[in-house]
Structures are given as C-alpha cells and as structure tokens.
C-alpha cells in the first residue's frame, strides 16, 4: 500500500509540473497577444494623425471658399476690361442726345454720336469715361460729365485644373475672381498643395500701338499662397480673372512643365531629385517648334507673389555643355515657341499636304 501511494505521488508531481509549464506557456502567449493587441490599437490613433490634420486644414480652406465675403461691387468691376460682345451704356449729363447703349463689335469698337468709331477693347469703364470726356471737351462741350456702365458681359472661358473637385473649363459672364472659380470647381481636394498658379495668356493690348514685338509674348504666371488667401484672409490675393485664364492648383510635391512640350503637366517628385532634362523627358520631350534654348524656370520665393526666373538652355544641357539644374517643389518649366520654327513647320505642312512628300525637321 505504501509503495502504491508513493507511485501515485510521483505521478501527481509530474502531472502538476506539466500543467505548470503549460500554464506558463499559455500565460506568455496571452501576454504577447495582449501586447500585440495594444500595439494594433495604438497604431490607428497615431498613423493618420497627420492626414487628419491635413484634411481639417483643407476643409477649413474650402469653408472659406464657400463663405468668403467678396469685395464690394464697385471694387469687383472696377478693373474689368471691356471686350467684344459687351453691352455698354454711355451717359452724358450735359446732353441727353449723346446718351447711347451700344454693343462692342467683334473688333472691339463702338460708334458714338459726334465721336464716331472708338476702340474700347482692353479699356476699363473708368478709362473709357475719361477718354470720352476728353474728346467731348476738346471740341463740343465744356467740362462734360460722362458715365460708362457695362450692362451685359460677354461669355468668358476660364479653366480650373489640378487638385479641385470639379476641374474643367467654365463659361462665365461678368467679373469673376479666384474665389468665385474655386467655388464653382467644388473647392480643393485633400491632396492640394499650398500654392495656386494663375496662368494668363498674352494680351494683345499690352503691346504699344504701332510697335511690333520681335519676341513672342509669353503667358503671365501669378503665384497665390492659398493659406494667405483662405486662412489668413488676404483678399488682395483674390485676383480678378479675364477670358482665357487658367487656374492650376497642383497637388503637393510636384514640378510642372509647360509650353512647347509633347505632354505638359505636373509630375511628382516623390522625394527624389529631378533635373531640368529629366523634367523635359517626363513631358515626353520638346515639340519641333520649341525654342529649347530659351526655356525659363519660374520658382516661388515664399514672399507674396515674388518669384525667381531662371534661364535654361535645354539644348546645351542635353549636349553636356551646360549644368543641368535640379528643380524644387512647385517649380514651373516653360519652353517657349520659336517663331521661325513655327513658320517653317506651317510651310512644310502645307507642302506635304499639296505635294505629298515628307521632309525631315530635325535640322530646323
């Protein structure tokens, strides 16, 4: 009996030791699982914090776009430049017979009693008032009082591209501002960058009458700091828009290539260095009519609308004869058109169409 009891005690001891080992292992496993679970629970609260903050920031800017108070009507229309199809009301206080409502012709002219044909395209209402007043005072009236009111505005096409909810061209009438068009485009996307670029086509009236520019006119580019405009409320940055303007809101971390390249647009940096030649390659190279030796790099300086304008000779870079500059975030590379090349290409296209032969353009 004693022997059996002793045997049973050994067995019990071994079984007890076994179960203790199992308990230790299970406890260790549960502990690891618990720590892993805690880590998993902690990650969701820490990883998207930056994204949530960015999302809140964009949301605040979009609220500003939709609710921002616009300048007064007088300020809004003061700088509007008269164009074809506008309907203008001219009033002369001293002589009612000179009052007239007239539509601007497709050439940008109007006809008024006594004064005949006047060119009004590109003038503001105030500038036209002054011109009519001076002409009447010169021959017909003493100290005339003239008012010009724009009753109807022509349809204008303004495009919004980039990180907005509804990009595309918009046909608008009357004077519009950057905030107006951002609102029409549904506001900013969450990946919108900090800058807005307003690209304005060349205006023929900027060339003095009687003078011909030997160099092709390049588009004007205005750089707008969206935080200054939308968060700090600097409405001096809420520029008035004109027909042909393009508003570009790039996503953060991009460079841009425009002008005479095969695929203009924005290209991501993704933390890597991109040179001018690489940017041109991203845009699939130069067009045949491009003037690659006169390329410009527009670089935002971070101070208001100030920017650096750097020159780049793409041909020299490609031949290894010039340094290949490294681009910075939001840099814009513009390649202008060569007037001579464009003319020759037009002639060659005509010849190919009429005579049916091919010509190599590589040496032009």
Which domains are assigned to the chain?
81-152 (3.30.1950.10), 155-203+217-251 (3.10.560.10), 253-355 (3.10.560.10)
CA distance 285 to 277: 9
Measured between alpha carbons, how far apart are the two ends of the chain, in Å?
Answer: 116
Between 97-106, 158-167, 213-222, the lowest mean confidence (pLDDT) is in: 213-222
- pLDDT (tens digit, 9 = 90+) per residue, 64-77? 777 664 444 444 55
pLDDT tens sequence across 311-345: 999 999 999 999 999 998 878 899 988 876 655 65
- Give the model's pLDDT for residue 299: 85
Q: Check residues 63 and 261 and name the one with the higher pLDDT.
A: 261
- Please, which residues bridge with residue 200 across strands? 220
Which pLDDT belongs to residue 47?
Answer: 36
Q: Which residue has the tokens 């890597």?
A: 272
Distances (CA, A) of 102 to 28, 91, 120, 124, 150: 91, 11, 12, 16, 10
Output b/e per residue, 69-85; b: 16+ Cβ within 10 A: eeeeeeebbeebbbbee
Whether the predicted pLDDT of 1 surpasses 50: no
Look at residue 105 in the predicted model and tell me its pLDDT: 92
* pLDDT tens, position by position, 19-43: 445 444 544 544 444 444 333 333 4
CA distance 74 to 58: 31
241's CB contacts (< 8 A; 6+ apart) are 156, 158, 175, 176, 177, 178, 180, 181, 198, 247
Whole-number Å distance between alpha carbons of 225 and 241: 17
For the purposes of burial, counting CB atoms within 10 Å of the CB of 317, is it exposed (0-12), middle (13-18) or buried (19 or more)?
A: buried
Report in angstroms the alpha-carbon separations of 362 from 286, 288, 289: 12, 8, 10
pLDDT at 46 over 60: no
Q: Are 332 and 199 in contact (CB under 8 A)?
A: no
Please report the pLDDT score of residue 77 as a whole number.
Answer: 57
Range picked from 63-77, 122-136, 151-165 for highest mean pLDDT = 122-136
């Amino acid at each position: 009996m004693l022997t059996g009891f002793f045997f049973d005690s050994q067995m019990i001891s071994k079984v007890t030791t076994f179960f203790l080992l199992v308990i230790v292992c299970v406890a260790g496993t549960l502990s690891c699982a618990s720590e892993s679970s805690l880590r998993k629970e902690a990650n969701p609260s820490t990883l998207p914090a930056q994204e949530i903050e960015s999302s809140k920031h964009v949301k605040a800017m979009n609220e500003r776009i939709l609710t921002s108070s616009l300048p007064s009507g007088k300020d809004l229309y003061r700088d509007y430049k008269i164009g074809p199809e506008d309907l203008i009301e001219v009033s002369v206080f001293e002589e009612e017979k000179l009052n007239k409502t007239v539509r601007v012709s497709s050439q940008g002219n109007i006809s008024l009693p006594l004064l005949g044909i006047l060119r009004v395209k590109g003038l503001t209402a105030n500038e036209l008032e002054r011109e009519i007043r001076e002409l009447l005072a010169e021959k017909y009236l003493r100290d005339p009082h003239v008012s010009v009111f724009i009753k109807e505005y022509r349809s204008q096409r303004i495009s919004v591209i980039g990180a907005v909810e509804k990009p595309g061209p918009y046909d608008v009438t009357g004077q519009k501002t950057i905030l107006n068009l951002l609102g029409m485009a549904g506001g900013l996307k969450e990946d919108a960058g900090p800058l807005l670029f307003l690209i304005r086509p060349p205006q023929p009236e900027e060339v003095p009458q009687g003078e011909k520019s030997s160099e092709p006119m390049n588009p004007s580019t205005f750089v707008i700091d969206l935080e200054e405009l939308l968060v700090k409320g600097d409405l001096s940055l809420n520029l008035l828009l004109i027909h042909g303007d393009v508003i570009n809101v790039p996503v953060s971390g991009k460079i841009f290539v425009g002008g005479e390249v095969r695929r203009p647009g924005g290209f991501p940096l993704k933390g890597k260095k991109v040179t001018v030649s690489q940017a041109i390659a991203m845009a699939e190279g130069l067009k045949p009519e491009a003037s690659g030796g006169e390329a410009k790099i527009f670089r935002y300086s971070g101070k208001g609308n100030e920017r650096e304008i750097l020159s780049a000779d793409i041909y020299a870079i490609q031949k290894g004869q010039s340094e290949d500059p490294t681009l910075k975030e939001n840099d814009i590379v513009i390649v202008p058109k060569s007037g001579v090349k464009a003319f020759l290409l037009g002639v060659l296209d005509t010849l190919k169409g009429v005579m049916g032969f091919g010509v190599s353009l590589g040496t032009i």
